[in-house]
Amino acid sequence: MKKKVVILGAGITGLVSAYYLSEDYDVVVIEKGKSVGGSAAGFKYKDFIMDYGPHKIYSELPGIMDEIEKVVELNKIKKKNSIYLEGNYFEFPLKIQQIMKKMPSKAFKAGWDMFAKSISKKPDDSYENYLINRFGKTMYNLSFRDYAEKVWGSNPKELDKELAKRRVAITGMLDLIKGILFKDTKNISADYFYYPPKGIKQLIDNIVDKIKKNGGRILTNENISEIKIENNMVKDIKIKNGIIKMDYMISTIPLDEFVKYINADEEVLDAASKLRYQKLNILYFILNKPRAMEDSWRFYPEKKLIFQRVSEMKSFSQDVGPEDKTVLMVETIKDVNKELVKKIIEQLEEVGLIKENEIEEYFLKSYDKSYPVYTKGFKEHLSKILEYIEKYENFYSTGRPGLFNYNNMDQCWDMAMKTAEHIKEDKSREDWQETKTYFDKYRIVD
């Protein structure tokens, strides 16, 4: 008889783990949502296929693109993004020569900062100081400071420098200058990305088909009431329809939820409650014109604008909607009501994206735990939780919420593949600690 693996969460990490294990193991995936895919899910609406926020595919991890291409056909797409600052659009990542041309006084100040920076350097003790030390105050204020508040809902002084290390691929002004002189932007941003013709949903649907073909089961709309531990082993899980015993458990769900199911000690529950996540609201505007912009997405870091990013599904694939219409995805962390939508529409007009009479309809989708927020001190809370749950010898917490790892889909794929390998090859707990140290080194290339 095959050994049983229970996987919590049907996001990309849970599903890909199930895909790699389902040939040799009896796999059950338990998902609380009505559908699968987690933050990489897609959905159909009328004649459109949409992502929950744009999901490009790109990887520098060895072998991962080949693995993804075994599951889904991918189109290679030339990347074109921009950033809106002081009434102008600039290519993104920002290039110094564009600032010199359109905002000469800012370029002068940025240059002065470089000199001042060499005289006084702040301790590298926060997101803010880490970035000021590398870009100077002018560049920091221009493109990073307000954006942090708009995406993570936090004062950048209170954010951990780890967030800057993971999210800002470019390491400083020298990279920007190298980009100008030698056209060397490979550390800053990739020139292209990949995308399935029928949206990210096509990738998720294909993974699900493969799991089912291998006999794996995916239970959606489930409710976990308890997870039982005996002698440092996860024994069984109680869900709506009964109890499932298992040989191994993989958890990809948020740690604050997992520790409640195992009735963890008070101090662990307390540490888990201090890990913060940011909710994201996405407004989908269906427009009665074939295209709205040339870019795949545009960043809006300025505080006065309600939204932080706008993207257009049609620039990912022409096959995700009818020829004569398009859809814009507008991201904000503000609570959305009719009044706010009115203001957003005015601001979308102001930044030159739409005219009000082009809007056919709009609707809202929200995702509660979109972004792990790395507030100062998060590593201490995280270590306390992981130390506690990693005593269980047949248990692996992995993926973005499972390790509170601010990662991308390709990294989730890598994590899922490596977690499955640990089970298949019966690797030691010491090996798992090493693998986790490797997961902590992921950096996102935009």
Which residues of this chain interact with ligand FAD, rule CB under 6 A? 8-14, 30-33, 38-40, 53-56, 224, 252-254, 257, 280, 370, 399-401, 407-410, 412
In the bound complex, what is the minimum distance in angstroms from residue 324's beta carbon to ligand FAD? 27
In the bound complex, what is the minimum distance in angstroms from residue 296's beta carbon to ligand FAD? 9
Where are any strands of DSSP class E within 179-275? 192-195, 217-219, 226-230, 233-239, 242-245, 248-251
Cis peptide bond upstream of 93, omega within 30: yes
CB closer to ligand FAD out of 301 and 401: 401
CB closer to ligand FAD out of 38 and 216: 38
CB closer to ligand FAD out of 161 and 309: 309
CB closer to ligand FAD out of 57 and 132: 57
In the bound complex, what is the minimum distance in angstroms from residue 117's beta carbon to ligand FAD? 32
CB closer to ligand FAD out of 11 and 321: 11
CB closer to ligand FAD out of 42 and 321: 42
In the bound complex, what is the minimum distance in angstroms from residue 280's beta carbon to ligand FAD? 6
d(CA 420, CA 425): 9
CB closer to ligand FAD out of 132 and 218: 218
CB closer to ligand FAD out of 39 and 81: 39
Cβ-based neighbour number of residue 300 at 10 Å:
26
Task: Tokens for 3, please give them.
Answer: 């050994």
In the bound complex, what is the minimum distance in angstroms from residue 108's beta carbon to ligand FAD? 35
d(CA 61, CA 418): 12
Cβ contact 170:187 at 8 Å: yes
CB closer to ligand FAD out of 196 and 399: 399
Q: What is the DSSP letter of 357?
A: G
Residues 6+ apart with CB under 8 A from 244: 4, 6, 28, 236, 237
In the bound complex, what is the minimum distance in angstroms from residue 334's beta carbon to ligand FAD? 15
In the bound complex, what is the minimum distance in angstroms from residue 424's beta carbon to ligand FAD? 20
Residue type, 322: P
Residue type, 289: K
Cβ-based neighbour number of residue 115 at 10 Å:
9
Greatest Cα pair distance in the chain: 72
d(CA 307, CA 168): 20
Collapse the DSSP code of 329 into the 3-class scheme (helix H, G, I; strand E, B; otherwise coil) and give the result. Answer: strand
Cβ contact 294:172 at 8 Å: no
Q: Which helix (H) or strand (E) holds 284?
A: strand 276-287
Cβ contact 48:316 at 8 Å: no
d(CA 78, CA 53): 19
In the bound complex, what is the minimum distance in angstroms from residue 307's beta carbon to ligand FAD? 12
In the bound complex, what is the minimum distance in angstroms from residue 288's beta carbon to ligand FAD? 26
In the bound complex, what is the minimum distance in angstroms from residue 204's beta carbon to ligand FAD? 10
Phi-psi region for residue 38, left (φ > 0), alpha (ψ -120 to 50) or beta?
Answer: left
CB closer to ligand FAD out of 55 and 117: 55
Alpha-carbon distance values, 178 to 97, 111, 127, 195, 356 (Å): 12, 15, 23, 29, 42
